Amino acid sequence: MRDLMFVEAAREGLAEEMARDPRIFVIGEGIGARGGNFNTTTGLFERYGPMRLRDAPIAERGFTALCTGAAAAGARPVVDFMFIDFLSDAFGDLFNQTAKLQWMSGGRIKMPIVLRGCVGVWPGNGAHHSGNYYPFFVHIPGFRVVVPTTPADAKGLLKTALRCDDPVLFLEHKGVLTLRGPVPDGEHLVPFGQAAVRRSGKDLTIFAIAFMVHRALEAAEILAQEGIEAEVIDPRTLAPLDIETVLASVHKTGRLLVVDEDFAPCGMAAEVAVQVMERGFDDLDAPVRRLTGLPVPAPYSPALFEPVTPGAMAIALAARELLAE
């Protein structure tokens, strides 16, 4: 075990897979000699050169579709899009081509493409650099959606993504990029569709997404001081979604709080709530509770920012209310 920063661990995973598979190439703005806005590719250009570390023009639609064509023709592209907001010009081709080519071709075309970059509402980032947007991709058949929260998972899930023949959205919340944590030595792969129970508890289940896992763990500390034992579940991947782990937890606790900084309507929190209602209704002692971000574009001013996403205190409050029902 070593102690690595999230971005270092992810980069180690990318470097290992690039060494293993010459079909992998990365494309994005400033990911060549510069090493990426978030140091996603630092040191790799010197090793692999421009064909595998391709600095792109600001043409997200174009290079995402280019990578889709390249994946169909035998390459294994990584689109390093920096902020998911920048990917929005490519949504049409992602939904119509990237997600559908395998199905349309009856499985004869494979689509091994990884789309990685930042998501999340973050101080000072404003309305055009704070998108989450993962529900769009979870909604469309064909995508895998990964939301890593620890350095070990950053490496292990990215390596799995790079070996996957499906299009994978690998979404790195800005709140986790600089976190440090233990990363196993040697080969380390984390499978998709296996949630992690980050903290065990018997009183209620908190299902939290991406950076909200860390906020939920803070809230669980606060609750523990009051004698409330919260179980915190990190789904790790939203598609596939490991609902079994959630159901098993709810069977034990009888109460579910879903924490998602993204918007509530048609979002992940609604999806998790309804799946638990469909399959775990008899285990529920209270209605599933959602705690989500405010349905507004992300503001810039610190004064406006504070109420937009759930903090640890808000999560603890929601947990207490849920336990009182």
Partner 1 sequence: MAEDATDFVPGQLAVDEWLALYRTMLLIRRTEERLVKLYAAGKIVGACHTYIGEEAVAAGVCAHLRPDDVVFSTHRGHGHALAKGVPPHEIIAELLGRATGCSGGRGGSMHLFKPEIGFMGSSGIVGPSITLAAGGGYAAKLLGSDRVSVAFFGDGAVNNGAFHEGLTMAAAWDLPVLFVCENNLYATEVPFAEVSRNPSVADRGRAYGMPGVEVDGNDVLAVHAAAGEAIARARAGQGPTLLECKTYRTRAHAEGMRDIGYRSPQEVAAWRERCPIQRFQQVLSAAGVAADALEALDAEVRSLVEEAAAFAEASPWPEPSTVTRYVYSQE
Minimal distance, residue 164 CB to partner 1, in Å: 7
103 lines the binding site for partner 1 (CB under 8 A): yes
191 lines the binding site for partner 1 (CB under 8 A): no
Residues 161-190 that bind partner 1 (CB under 8 A): 164-166
Minimal distance, residue 196 CB to partner 1, in Å: 22
123 lines the binding site for partner 1 (CB under 8 A): no
Q: 225: exposed, middle or buried (C-beta count within 10 Å: 0-12, 13-18, 19+)?
A: exposed
110 lines the binding site for partner 1 (CB under 8 A): yes
SS3 83: strand
141 lines the binding site for partner 1 (CB under 8 A): yes
Phi, psi of 110 (to 5 degrees): -100, 160
DSSP 8-state class, residue 56 = -
Tell me whether residue 251 is one of the annotated catalytic residues: no
Minimal distance, residue 85 CB to partner 1, in Å: 18
Tokens of residue 4, six digits:
């690595």
Q: What is the distance of C-alpha 308 from the center of its chain? A: 19
SS3 215: helix
Among residues 12, 60, 172, 231, which one is catalytic?
60
Tokens of residue 227, six digits:
């004698």
Q: Whole-angstrom Cα distance, residue 187 to residue 191?
A: 13
Relative orientation angle of helices 6-20 and 151-163, to the nearest 10 degrees? 30
Nearest to 21 by CA among 67, 84, 78: 78
Q: Whole-angstrom Cα distance, residue 292 to residue 290?
A: 6
146 lines the binding site for partner 1 (CB under 8 A): no
Residue written as tokens 């060494």? 19
91 lines the binding site for partner 1 (CB under 8 A): no
- Give the residue, chosen from 30, 42, 69, 270, that forms a contact with partner 1 under the rule CB under 8 A: 69
Among residues 8, 12, 17, 129, which one is catalytic?
129
Tell me whether residue 129 is one of the annotated catalytic residues: yes
Q: How far is CA 167 from CA 194, 214, 313, in A?
A: 18, 27, 37
Q: How far is CA 75 from CA 17, 67, 103, 294, in A?
A: 13, 8, 19, 40
| Options 145-153, 158-166, 202-210, 301-309: segment touching partner 1 (CB under 8 A) | 158-166
| Options 12-20, 100-108, 123-131, 225-233: segment touching partner 1 (CB under 8 A) | 100-108
Minimal distance, residue 217 CB to partner 1, in Å: 32
SS3 259: strand
| Options 10-18, 103-111, 170-178, 244-252: segment touching partner 1 (CB under 8 A) | 103-111
| Options 13-21, 99-107, 178-186, 255-263: segment touching partner 1 (CB under 8 A) | 99-107
For partner 1, the closer of residues 23 and 202 by Cβ is 23
Q: Whole-angstrom Cα distance, residue 72 to residue 76?
A: 9
Residues with active-site annotation = 60, 129
Which residues form the interface with partner 1 (CB under 8 A)?
23, 25, 51-52, 54, 56-57, 59, 61-63, 65-75, 77, 92-93, 96-97, 101-111, 141-142, 144, 164-166
